[in-house]
Amino acid sequence: MNRKYFDTTPKTRRMSPFGIFADQAGYYPESVKRAFIPFECGSFEVTDMNGAVCYSGSTVHAGMDKASGDDVWTADFTPLDSPGSYVIRAGGRTSAMFCIGGDVYSDVFDKVSKAYYYLRCGCGVEERYGGVWHHGKCHTSPARLWDDREREVDVSGGWHDAGDYGRYVTAGACACAHLLYAYRLFPGAFDGQRLNIPEENTPDILSEVRYELEWLLKMQREDGGVYHKVTTDLHAPFVMPEEDTEQLYLFPVSSMAVADTAAVCALGSHVYRDFDKDFSGRLLAAAKRSAVWLEEHPEFIGFHNPEGCNTGGYGEGDDHSNRFWAYAELYAATGEAVYHDRMEQALREDFPLWALGYGEVGGLGALSYILCDKDRDTALVSRFENAFSARGKELCTIADSCGYDVAMEGNDYCWGSNMGLMTRAMIFAVNDRLLGEKGFREYALSHIHCLLGANPLGISYVTGVGEFRCNYPHLRPAFADGIEECIPGMVAGGPNGHRSDPFARGIIPEGTPPMKCYADDTASYSLNEITIYWNSPAVFVLAYLQ
């Protein structure tokens, strides 16, 4: 990555100008409210925007936090429940502004949900829907098969996956699953949501997910096989989508792509049944075609980029959890015993039954079976529920020992750490909502607090949210549009202790604690890229909190 090309030196930001770290969106009146202070002080006060002291108290020494390297004091202002805007002051320093109120996450929820519209491919982003971030139609030409350059296929549509303009099946299936389960579990959160997108015939989030599902259907062959991805041969330069006019290629079928497509199409058939029976039927038929392909190809067919291609690989070491998820969803959709048998045959000890994707999707299969309204094996239900329960309790223990109240340890701060942060919050939500285990809601909230500024860098990792927020993600249109304010609602990858790109290694000193290995800079793809499956768990958690 050419640092000079981006000319981002004046915009690189690592540390907040605020010395006290709080959730910059805010706190519910009835919830625990805690800010973090990385220096010694005995007392703090919370003031309104006129400077009037509304609450004061003593700090608590939480101790040394290993992942951040901070000696942390906490300021607990839980008793303050009056709606309003506030800052925290202690030791001559202050926090960013935050709010207390029953709707503090409504704007964040809408922004992270609307982000998918800005990532649509095969169409333009219209000004009446996208505002200043509009652009022309992109990537509408047919794609050639990588292994048969004479054959062309129309696979237009779907979402750009990440900072690049590629579209990848397993990533898309995972993001759709998060969003569909968010709707299944928390439909009330979406009832009044208005995202200002072109479609108006179903809840907005389902209209948006359908845009991706229609593309997944195009990626399926007649025999049920599913192409792994469609991209150009090389990543595009940092240009607008409509300026990326290089030849598109369809890459060979992988068994992971087939299984994930079967799973998410079966899931979608259930969700869309009440809105569009024809579309629901198309999804179920596609899921069954891919199930036939899986039976005819019991061997693992992975994916590696062929020589001459440098776009995303999304390779996996096996397809065990993918096949399990596929059969669980097919059984939940149809009640056909053959899929239950295949689900049981696919169960293995080598994948976790709480993992929520994209590389391991066993938790999605378990969730499908827990929610299934067909005949269920009670022993299997208990096994799947116990997996979520045990993982939730394990995560609580980790969070309790963390100075910033999150269930993340040093090694968890890797590429896309904010997905880990949010999928852990999903596990807390599942335990609370489905298993009725008390106390998990506050743990889920603490992870949202961390995402939105209650972290050792004091930065909100969601564009457009908070006084001090990421604004320069590794995202081609966000750079190429020339607009200073970033497209809102994009969840950045977050801290990565491995510093997995040249820019990250150049700006972040070796030995920096992993929770602080982050820079808000376009040049760093391992710290500041966005992806559709980093936004989706955030949508899920915010829907739960709504």
Which positions are catalytic?
164, 474, 520, 529
For 409, other C-beta atoms within 10 Å of its C-beta total 14
User: Which two structure tokens, joined as six digits, stand for 395?
Assistant: 């995560």
Residue with tokens 């929820």: 109
Cα 500 from Cα 402, distance rounded (Å): 24
CA torsion, points 287, 260, 273, 212, in degrees to nearest 10?
-110
Q: Is 227 helix (H, G, I), strand (E, B) or coil?
A: strand
Which among 263, 290, 285 is positioned nearest to 367, based on CA atoms? 263
Cα 283 from Cα 262, distance rounded (Å): 9
Distant-in-sequence, close-in-space partners of 473: CB < 8 Å, separation ≥ 6? 163, 463, 486, 490, 492, 520, 522, 528, 529, 530
Evaluate whether 293 touches 223 at the Cβ level (below 8 Å): yes
Q: Is 348 left (phi over 0), alpha (psi -120 to 50) or beta?
A: beta
Which among 10, 11, 17 is positioned nearest to 457, based on CA atoms? 17
Evaluate whether 525 touches 501 at the Cβ level (below 8 Å): yes
Cα 195 from Cα 113, distance rounded (Å): 8
